[in-house]
Structure 1
Amino acid sequence: MSLGAEARDTGPAVGTEAPERAQATKRAALSGVRVVDLTQFEAGPVCTETLAWLGAEVIKVEAPGRGEQGRKATTDAAGLDSNFFLILNANKRSITCNLKSEEGRALFRRLIAEADVLIENFAPGAIERLGFSYDAVKEINPAIIYAQIKGFAPEGPYANYLAFDAVAQAAGGSLSITGEADGRPIKPGLNVADTGAGLHCAIGILAALYQRRVTGEGQRIEVAMQDAVINFGRIAFAAQANSGKAAPRTGNQSILAGTSPSEVYPCKGGGPNDYCYVYTTRAGNHHWDRLLAVIGREDLLTDARFTTPKNRQANYREVDAIIAEWTRRHDKRTVMTLFGEAGIPASAVFDTMELSRDPHLRARGTFVTVDHPERGAFTMPGFMVKMSGSQVPATAAPLLGADNADVYGALLDLSQDELDRLKQADVI
């Protein structure tokens, strides 16, 4: 039984003093929680990587020989795990298990009995065909947290449809509000459906683990990628409620209510990302007044076109022309600095290379460098939540089956002879 399972049986009720409180600062937040990870590609691995960064033991279960599809599907070097896989599977362990063989399923049942959490994001119906539906897993381990991520709700009209990030973004309204007003829908550059679904699922798992300390019972967690995207669109639904119409595409303008500036402005240099985004509040004139002081245009303070947020929005093209005439004389970092120090919301448009090389972001741990056994030093985004009492050093994504001997031997008490036989039989 995992430490997490022991905690659910013997841990204190909510509001009482935990006996391990004195050692809390020496343990990671999820120390003792064991997660069995049947995820692939992005949405599921984001969830399990988040749990691993919080200190959970995440055991990634993969098919013998080939592993999770993301390992090789987008690799830039034949024979090596992809950068995509490395970025999404840090701090995990890897074992192989053939879930299509009876002996492999028997091993997996033993693993489930030792777990606190099981998570999968296979195609609709796949986990059930393997014999590991929620009801089946609950029979093995009644206290398990059983989590699933799918493209669409399992009881809805699209339950059996496949979905990747862009498909879910289309289904959840993201494409409909992205792009210019007179242009076609555009896929946002960020994978908000995949990563968003993974983070939503992690939130549900954390809540279920907390609830289990009181009830002693497990439960099923279900996240649909379509739902996750809808949740990111709350402000668009506020705009719909205001107008009574579907939220429109507004380019870089505010989607909710009238305000200007709300745009990227060209800066000195002329490169593809030599821009600074500037946004002023719709709740008053203080940002606008400060901006005019920075650019030396206090003469516009009493100009009727710009005296209220609503007036500025109605005349946003004139606002944009005035600001752009000034920003073109300065590089984007200078624009950001001058506006930021004056109390005006603004940011340079940083590209991925600028971000990953930023000394502050490196020192903060926003980007970390891990030592991969085949690729060597590898820099990737780290864990974005900083906790004073829980720090987990980043480790590289595991090679396929790297932890077979440890997990099967130490956890399930298999001998080396048994491991050799199972490997020979393609069970692991």
Structure 2
Amino acid sequence: MVEIHGTPDVSKNQVEMGEGPGQARDEDRLPALHGVRVVDLTQFEAGTSCTQVLAWLGADVIKIEPPVSGEQGRRASADREDADSFYFIYLNANKRSVTLNLKDERGKEILRSLIRDADVFIENYAPGVIERLGFDYETVSKLNPRIIYAQIKGFPEDGKYAEFPAFDMIAQAVGGAISTTGEAGRIPLRPGPTIGDTGTGLHCAIGILSALYQRIRTGRGQRVSVSMQEAMINFSRIAFARWAMTGEATPRCGNQSLLSSTAPSGVYPCKGGGPNDYCFIYTSRSPTNHQWKRLLSIIGREDLLDDERFSSPEMRFKHQDEVDALISNWTKDRDKLEVMRILGAAGVPAGAVMDTKELVEDEELNRREAFVTVEHPVRGEVKMPGWPVKMSDSYVPKVAAPVLGSSNEEVLTQYLGLDKDEIAALREAKVI
């Protein structure tokens, strides 16, 4: 039997495994993580990305925040004094907010009570903070031996940099990503996507889900820890494959593959002349040259099919200036989407360089909920990226990130049985 906690309308009998196929039940239509309760002490992006994934999969994520100020991300890059930042809103959808003063023993006791019946506890405070608050792994696991205790830190906890703070760009620097990004002979660059933060959060979510699954068999919880540095190393496996081949540090290769070079492999200017009016065009390193031959046919240069300069990926790379001139002469008279459509239909890899405005206004992506519109209690309608994983038997509607403390009464009544007078007293004492 799968034993889970959470919303009180789901009994353990409703989530038993082993029932025969074809027995339609209302429970079959519940989200994948329905009934899983998460006590969330995360902030900024790495931890909040992890718990947002769990919320989008149906878990009940209870975000614990300091009274008055709330999680630091609420004010990070804020554009309005009266509203949470879009930074916060984009990372905390589908959660509930409970405020607790964890410097007050009454606040700590409320947190202990929530932990006792939770499935997951997660934090990504600076090194040493959670221990000083009295919620280290040993203490929390004694309160609830079944709990999955997850932590995200910048560096390995037993390493020489364990006490150092880290943000996304720091993780990308120390994990190898920045060293391989940019053009040869130029300064290293931080990649645009925040893989140091969100990427580490997704690694942690995988660990949590695996631990929940293992708990079905063992009945025990466990600790899940991820360092941002090590997550970046995992993202950079192809760069390390280059090192394995050469024994040298992997260089910056611009738009080329880190393993070996070919041409074309780059962005080509398209009609319009805007900052993103380019299309990335690539032909594989296959010795058959089939994609290159298709490309020559499309641009009307079949006369070059037997040209020795372009006879292999290696030769084309040696003559990449000529290759680039051939392709640019064709792309410059067509817009980037037309270039992508023509080449893609012919089996030549091509991708228009789409900017954030173009993507957020794309009808198909909105239909598929790659972007969703939620109703925020202060900002009104907010469009934000959705959850890209589609599941045939699990769907969770997207709701806006919570206003600070908006779930205090709901959670403390639902899960701890406190009455209105007790909650009012806690509020008066600034515990919540």
Please give the TM-score of this superposition, normalised by the length of structure 2: 0.95
- In structure 1, C-alpha distance between the alignment counterparts of 2:285 and 2:43, rounded to whole Å: 43
Cα distance in structure 2, aligned partners of 1:146 and 1:317: 54
Say whether 1:251 aligns with 2:245.
no
Corresponding residue number in structure 1 for 2:407: 403
- Of 357, 362, 375, 1:358 maps to 362
Corresponding residue number in structure 2 for 1:220: 223
Match of 2:157 in 1: 154
Could you tell me which residue of structure 2 aligns to residue 388 of structure 1?
A: 392
User: Compared with structure 1, are the counterparts of its residues 68 and 195 closer, same or farther at alpha carbon in structure 2 (3 Å cutoff)?
Assistant: same
Equivalent AA in structure 2 for residue 215 of structure 1: T
- Letter of the aligned partner of 1:275 in structure 2? Y
Residue 347 of structure 1, CA deviation: 0.6
Q: AA paired with 2:320?
A: Y
1:17 Cα shift? 4.3
2: distance between equivalents of 1:17 and 1:172? 46
Q: Name the Cα RMSD after superposition.
A: 1.9
- Superposition deviation, residue 246 in structure 1: 1.0
CA distances 1:349-384 after superposition (whole Å, capped 9, x unpaired):
000000000000000000000000110000000011
**Map 1:218-367 → 2, pairs under 5 A:** 218-284=221-287, 285-367=289-371
Which secondary structure does the structure 2 equivalent of 1:206 belong to? helix
Q: Deviations over 1:188-215 (max 9, x none)?
A: 1110100000000000000000010111
The amino acid across from 2:95 in the alignment is K
Does 1:185 pair with 2:188? yes
Deviation, 1:327, is 0.8
SS of match in other structure, 1:80: coil
**Separation of aligned partners in 2, 1:113 and 1:10:** 22
Is 2:112 the partner of 1:76?
no
Q: Offset at 1:318?
A: 1.8
Question: Where do 1:56-205 residues align within 5 Å?
Answer: 56-205=59-208
C-alpha spacing 1:304/1:7, structure 2 compared with 1 (3 Å): farther
Quick check: 2:15–2:27 contact (8 Å CA) kept in 1? no
State whether residues 45 and 88 of structure 1, in contact with CA within 8 Å, keep that contact through their aligned partners in structure 2: yes
CA change 1:419–1:53 in 2 (3 A) is same
Instruction: Using the TM superposition, name which of 237-246 and 85-94 deviates more.
Output: 237-246
CA distance in 2, matches of 1:9, 1:35: 21
Task: Give me the TM-score of the superposition, normalised by structure 1.
Answer: 0.96
3-state DSSP class of the match of 2:149? strand
- Report if aligned partners of 1:8, 1:212 keep a CA contact under 8 Å in 2: no
Residue 113 to residue 143, structure 1, CA distance change in 2 (3 Å): same
Structure-2 change in CA distance of 1:344 and 1:231 (3 Å): same
Q: Number of residues paired by the alignment?
A: 426
Give how far 1:22 is off: 4.0
**Distance in 2 of aligned mates of 1:215 and 1:12:** 16
- One-letter code aligned to 1:362: N
Query: Could you list the runs of 5+ residues in structure 1 that have no partner in the other structure?
Result: none
Percent of paired sites with the same residue = 57
Q: Distance in 1 between matches of 2:6 and 2:380?
A: 33
C-alpha deviations, 1:189-243, integer Å up to 9, x for none? Answer: 1101000000000000000000101110100000111111111111111111122
What are the equivalent positions in structure 2 for 1:28-39 lying under 5 Å apart? 28-39=31-42
Q: CA deviation at 1:315?
A: 2.0
1:372 aligns with 2:379: no
1:45 to 26, 45, 48: 48
Q: For residues 251 and 24 of structure 1, what CA distance do their matches in structure 2 show?
A: 50
8 Å CA contact 1:258–1:314 kept in 2: the answer is no
Contact 1:52–1:92 at 8 Å: present in 2 too?
A: yes
1:27 to 26, 30, 37: 30
Q: Which amino acid aligns with 1:404?
A: N
The answer (yes or no) to whether the contact 2:31–2:58 under 8 Å persists in 1 is yes
1:271-312 residue CA offsets vs partner (Å, 9 max, x unmatched) = 000000011111231111111111111111111111111221
Q: Following TM superposition, by how much is the alpha carbon of 1:320 offset from its aligned partner in structure 2, in angstroms?
A: 1.4
SS in 2 for 1:277: strand
- Provide structure 2 residue ranges, at least 5 long, that are not aligned to the other structure: none
**Alpha-carbon deviation of 1:346?**
0.6
| Equivalent residues of 1:8, 1:213 under 8 A apart | no
Distance change (3 Å), C-alpha of 1:10 and 1:358: closer
Q: Secondary structure, in 3 states, of the residue corresponding to 2:384? A: strand
The answer as to whether partners of 1:369 and 1:378 remain within 8 angstroms in 2 is yes
Q: Secondary structure at the match of 2:281?
A: strand
Residue identity matched to 1:414: L
Counterpart-to-counterpart distance in 1, 2:217 and 2:207: 16
CA pair 177-414 structure 1, distance change in 2 beyond 3 A: same
Report if the CA contact (8 A) 1:9-1:216 is conserved: no
CA spacing shift, 1:7–1:47, aligned 2, 3 Å: farther
